Amino acid sequence: MTAGQKIRLRVLNFFGAAVQRLGFSGVTRLGRFMGRFLWHILPSRRKLAVDNIISHLGKSRDEAERIAYESFCQNGCSFLEIVLTKNFGLDSPQLRFDPPELFEALKNCQRPIVAATAHFGSWELLASLLGQVYEAPRPRMVVVRSYPDPAVQSFIASCREATGAEMVGHRQAVMSVIRALHKNGIAAFLVDHNAMRREAIFMPFLGEEAAVNAGPALLAVRGNALVWPVVLVREGQDYVFRLQAPLDTAELSGTREEKILQTAKFYTRAIEKFIEEHPEQWFWMHERWKTKFNARKKFRNREH
């Protein structure tokens, strides 16, 4: 790092330690304040969130504004909760599992696993929990987008990796994930963000065709993995580790491309279901439907 980057890292570490001392209730209050502040100073993002909710959930404008406002507050909490990863574990009194039998099945699973999750609920704390489901040397990794600033990247990585999960940059993830799946590891992906056209399968997401990242599906099929949809739902001061039943890619039929398509449809619909259940906990302010369909794209699907 340069001298300036080292200074920024020290500032970030100081800030993180200060926020961590607030505890869960203090971080929630500060996070909601930050969300309200962003609601007022980012009118274009506010409008995007409200319009997205009206278009994709069919809500009235008043209801859409209520959901969007709460989404800003929830996301403020999500950003700050990254400093609490060291204080949050599978035995935390604030945590419960829904349904508990699916979590037990996940914990006892001896197969390779692709965890499909989203910018939903408390995604930073979820990353820390996924590092605790299994013990070393079983691989546990979360595929994320890297930050261009080394100071920011170092701070965030140290928080996210505090409980055992390895953070892997999405541009360098392929071989790392393949090796992990061959060792019956778990690799988690955020599958709800907009994808570039060359990486995408186009299919409906919340009623509009969206560019869905094909990478997690391709790697899951290649590794004969189970695909588990998981999120961490925030309920007041508590958290719910929410799961849906997995898809076993080893049992899919058809060509490899057909299996990839089936897998991508599975986790896309799973994330839709989480959002429909708790719309205020999703990241509505981003341009999810930015990339448009290209007829020359190798993977095509206009059916849900």
pTM for the model stands at: 0.92
75 has pLDDT over 80? yes
List Cβ neighbours of 117 (8 Å cut-off, separation of 6 or more).
Answer: 123, 126, 188, 189, 190, 191, 229, 230, 231, 271
pLDDT at 163: 86
Compute the average pLDDT of residues 36-51: 97
302 has pLDDT over 70? no
The total of structural domains in the chain comes to 1
- List, in sequence order, the alpha helices (H) in the chain: 3-20, 23-41, 43-57, 61-80, 100-108, 123-130, 150-160, 173-182, 215-222, 256-277
- 304 domain residue, yes or no: no
- 294 domain residue, yes or no: no
- 33 domain residue, yes or no: yes
- 299 domain residue, yes or no: no
Which of the two residues, 92 and 295, has the higher pLDDT score? 92
pLDDT at 297: 44
> Which sign does the torsion angle of CA 15, 20, 21, 27 carry?
positive
Pairing outcome for strands 166-169 and 140-144: parallel
CATH number of the domain within which 73 lies: 3.40.1130
- 232 domain residue, yes or no: yes
- 300 domain residue, yes or no: no
- 132 domain residue, yes or no: yes
Range in 77-91, 145-159, 229-243 with the lowest mean pLDDT:
145-159
* pLDDT, tens only, 57-72: 999 999 999 999 999 9
Alpha-carbon distances, residue 93 vs 53, 88, 96, 133 (angstroms):
33, 9, 8, 16
What's the CA gap between 249 and 246, in Å, rounded?
9
Pairing outcome for strands 226-235 and 113-117: parallel
* pLDDT, tens only, 164-214: 889 898 778 899 999 999 999 999 999 999 998 888 999 999 999 999 999
Task: Return the closest-CA partner of residue 240 out of 86, 126, 131.
Answer: 126
In the structure, what pLDDT confidence band is assigned to residue 80 with cuts at 50, 70 and 90? very high
Q: Are 141 and 188 in contact (CB under 8 A)?
A: yes
pLDDT at 180: 95
Backbone angles phi, psi at 115, to 5 degrees: -90, 120
Task: Return the closest-CA partner of residue 230 out of 59, 69, 109.
Answer: 109
pLDDT at 85: 92
- 152 domain residue, yes or no: yes
User: In which domain, by residue range, is 133 found?
Assistant: 3-281
